[in-house]
Structure 1
């Protein structure tokens, strides 16, 4: 009798665990599941730095969340952790989930090099707003940061993913890789659950999906994609200078391609929500220029004018690209 009761209890316990797993966040084949249902990332990269500043601020969060909700955005990707419970709560209450990014060396503040990223995971691992933990952003373009050997980064990346899995088995671990990961990356990092890829292939990322299908059966998403609203030259019918139409047309084609590949892709976090005046010159003014690695595929001039990527401007006025996102995401 004792053994029978113990057996029933074990079954009930296993069913409870299975139920909790189904209601959490998991990976199944090429899909990300939230509460047992396929989650399609309709996302935006979000690093709100006010005019005149070089530091991120959430002073405009209420306005930003209202705009994001209007645009149909369900996910934001941040490049550094949000260490403010009120901000996380507000994002969750807006019905939006977060991909929390950790940098390698952030002077010991929730970074990978110091190991303090684990303190953040421990503190916030139960917060309902968090969709995934993301380790690094395009670090494969910077072997110079890792003693000239990118293999050193991949070892650190996989070890960090393992550490997170031991502490929090309720969420996937991802990374934002610059372009399609090669064999070295995939072999070295089996603990990465979802591969994010920053892909700039003009206005057509179609080829990356078939390439990914050929090398992996894991989920992938475009962690960055899009175009900016400044043309350094006149090209393809788009005039030189500020050009919202070029950005809107490029983003429309990119997003439509992503949405046509839902069998392989888990979604996209378009770059980006707001213009960043801090990137290329005086943060009090909006300046053309800037630099980004492997960016010759930026539509339609092959130049990433770093301060012109927002779907809204620094004052939150909607650009033409906002209406494109709103139409496709909704």
Structure 2
């Protein structure tokens, strides 16, 4: 147990160190002292002109922000308006001191959405289209020109930098605005100022390969060079460092600079330490280039591993079967949208690893280098893709962007041993952006991208999800199987999967799951299930995501409770253990995320299929995954956020424990309810379920799970309500400090525990609602969960009145003084 904890801590430390590595001689994040203006300017002069004489402010007004920053940090989940799509400006004053004589100065963008223009003073120096790939603006000449200009005196030695970002809707740009996620705007990833000597590395590439048995490894090192002053030659020193930080190879040789990529070294290793999810062994390469221009350095990591998708069979890593157990990630979080800091990203990725995942699909675009570095060091295999997502196929501008983004994706992330799949598209069978939807043209362009991907990287496989008329192109195909949510029942999952596995040489199941409204539970979550037809397939079809029309389906007719989501996940994980030909699957999605396509959801504008909420708080299904996928002993009683259960006096209620231990003993109000043995095929909860009568009022439930001498415990307190209720008629508000809770009660004042009405909070006085977070407890419009909802408020001095209103319900109010 102690050894495992030490190993986990070490992995986290390595992840922290690796995620901050730089790939230039000197690279500095510039996060502070930025100003932001939402909207457009008449021209660049308005960003840099001096304030009018006698005026304390420039017009228009700018606000101070810290990077990363997103236009849509709050409005993406504002229930009353469309999120902002348009231009926005950033500006700052930089101290630029290049330590290299005649060296280069660059602004390096780790991602900016979606069209970006960079200015030094009034000089345009670079433009870029694409919100997710990395790129740089060389500002060397513009800076040198500016410091010699008369305007420089006004800025007292600092360099004025202005950046225009624009996420305006554009049919000739990917991703499509029909995509089920927000196309964010802003400098929502880190911006760095990079200094390099005139002769430096550019596009450094590590290609590590191993045979399946790990008897021999080959590391090929390549790079191009940037040569601003035609230095031409230098001395190259390469050092290879093993996972235990020991230098195992040093190479020193002359090198002649060239713009094209050239092979620098080929290193052979006997019995390299192989990279895997359980042991993500990473080798470090350090490169030093010494020339008349100065010293340029590069440092990065790689790993040796061998993988194979067996035809109509499983996935093999290093010669052994590995069931890929995964999820998906969107770059999105409560309060910041896409502008996640490094600490936020690290917290999320560690939660994914601690859930037991060994695989992740990064949907639906190239993600931050920080994410890829963490996948390498934590041991999470990766499918990463370009944002050609829905809508159809545009013209030459559209295609050029797709080619460019695929090229950038592969060249920028191919050093990562975690990556095994390059995704070329998603749901490209979904029309709508253009008058014509030509399957042959889509097929031809997908073929072109497939060829390009293999030319750029012959060591990985290509893949797409849900476009059957293109499934013959890629190496690995993922059809649409949403058993129990968008079509069919979850009990059809195995039959549908086996059928699809037989249709393509190499199969993977990306995207399955269920929406759940955090905090909503049901004593009978499947009472609707008889409405759902069987034997009609389990694929999602265009429009199935809507809450109206079409056939009966869980997504429209179910209760969106955590209870139903637990059943669906539990069944899928049970069945996955019984399919030896299954390569693996990835649950959609790890975290709730914002989307403009779902305004009517319980939390408006949020896709609520997350394993955790948009603020990273785990839902119940997080522990279901842990019980199947993790080894460290754990136990979790289903219903931690279910404060009030209901039923008749003396009625037995099901109590479930999700645990990876071999047996568990349940105690209800201090009395043992018996010991159960874990058997993954004994649904639900792998046999760890009991039927026990609860007392009216308070109940204490405890479990002790055992795995040999190791134990795991958990405990909850439930109220049990036996008083029946009728229809809700009014809302009552209570507050504890700055937490306000609304409850729906019937005419007799009984809490209506199945009430799911939409309510809206409002506030009057010297305070504000802490809303627009896209969470069940952070939205002013939200559906009740078991008759209740809550929100936090910020109160200044004085008195505020908070109200909650709902259609057909008497409004509730409470007064708070501070």
Please say whether Structure 1 and Structure 2 have the same fold, judged by a TM-score greater than 0.5: yes
Choose from 612, 631, 634 the match for 1:312: 612
Q: Is residue 2:590 matched to residue 1:267? A: no
Question: CA separation of 1:41/1:213 partners in 2, compared to 1, >3 Å: closer, same or farther?
Answer: closer
Q: Is residue 2:332 matched to residue 1:49? A: yes
Partner secondary structure for residue 466 of structure 2: strand
Identify, as 1 or 2, the structure richer in helix.
Answer: 1
State the 1:123 CA deviation. Answer: 2.4
Q: Does the aligned pair in 2 maintain the 1:31–1:38 contact within 8 Å?
A: yes
Choose from 515, 518, 534 the match for 1:228: 515
Distance, in Å, in 2 between the alignment partners of 1:111 and 1:262 is: 41
TM-score, length-normalised on structure 1?
0.74
User: What residue is the counterpart of 1:89 in the other structure?
Assistant: 373
Matches within 5 A, 1:144-155: 147-155=436-444
State the 1:324 CA deviation. Answer: 1.0
Residues 245-303 of structure 1: per-residue CA shift (max 9 Å, x gap) = 1111111112222332231x211110111111444568xx984466xxxxxxxxxxxxx
User: What residue is the counterpart of 2:621 in the other structure?
Assistant: 321
Which has the larger displacement, 320-329 or 236-245? 236-245
State the 1:111 CA deviation. Answer: 8.0
User: What residue is the counterpart of 1:185 in the other structure?
Assistant: 470
Distance, in Å, in 1 between the alignment partners of 2:341 and 2:325 is: 21
User: What residue is the counterpart of 2:561 in the other structure?
Assistant: 243
Distance, in Å, in 2 between the alignment partners of 1:129 and 1:116 is: 20
Question: CA separation of 1:58/1:81 partners in 2, compared to 1, >3 Å: closer, same or farther?
Answer: farther
Which has the larger displacement, 51-60 or 91-100? 51-60
User: What residue is the counterpart of 1:297 in the other structure?
Assistant: none
Question: CA separation of 1:211/1:278 partners in 2, compared to 1, >3 Å: closer, same or farther?
Answer: closer
Partner secondary structure for residue 138 of structure 1: strand
Q: Does the aligned pair in 2 maintain the 1:69–1:94 contact within 8 Å?
A: yes
Partner secondary structure for residue 410 of structure 2: helix
Partner secondary structure for residue 220 of structure 1: coil
Matches within 5 A, 1:4-43: 19=216, 23-29=305-311, 30-43=313-326
Q: Does the aligned pair in 2 maintain the 1:26–1:170 contact within 8 Å?
A: no
Q: Does the aligned pair in 2 maintain the 1:25–1:172 contact within 8 Å?
A: no
Which sections of structure 2, spanning at least 5 residues, go unmatched? 1-210, 219-303, 485-489, 529-556, 631-818
Distance, in Å, in 2 between the alignment partners of 1:94 and 1:201 is: 31
Distance, in Å, in 1 between the alignment partners of 2:463 and 2:614 is: 29
Residues 201-255 of structure 1: per-residue CA shift (max 9 Å, x gap) = 2113223233224433x22111100111149x99623797551111111111122
Distance, in Å, in 2 between the alignment partners of 1:64 and 1:110 is: 33
User: What residue is the counterpart of 1:129 in the other structure?
Assistant: 418
Residues 42-77 of structure 1: per-residue CA shift (max 9 Å, x gap) = 000111412245536354222212211221011111
User: What residue is the counterpart of 1:161 in the other structure?
Assistant: 450
User: What residue is the counterpart of 1:253 in the other structure?
Assistant: 571
Which sections of structure 1, spanning at least 5 residues, go unmatched? 1-14, 291-305
Partner secondary structure for residue 116 of structure 1: helix
User: What residue is the counterpart of 1:210 in the other structure?
Assistant: 498
Distance, in Å, in 2 between the alignment partners of 1:87 and 1:214 is: 34
Distance, in Å, in 2 between the alignment partners of 1:240 and 1:105 is: 28
Question: CA separation of 1:289/1:259 partners in 2, compared to 1, >3 Å: closer, same or farther?
Answer: farther
Which has the larger displacement, 320-329 or 21-30? 21-30
CA-atom RMSD in angstroms: 3.7
User: What residue is the counterpart of 1:139 in the other structure?
Assistant: 428
User: What residue is the counterpart of 2:811 in the other structure?
Assistant: none
Identify, as 1 or 2, the structure richer in strand.
Answer: 2
TM-score, length-normalised on structure 2?
0.32
Partner secondary structure for residue 67 of structure 1: helix
Look at both structures and tell me which one has the larger radius of gyration over its CA atoms: 2
Which has the larger displacement, 236-245 or 96-105? 236-245
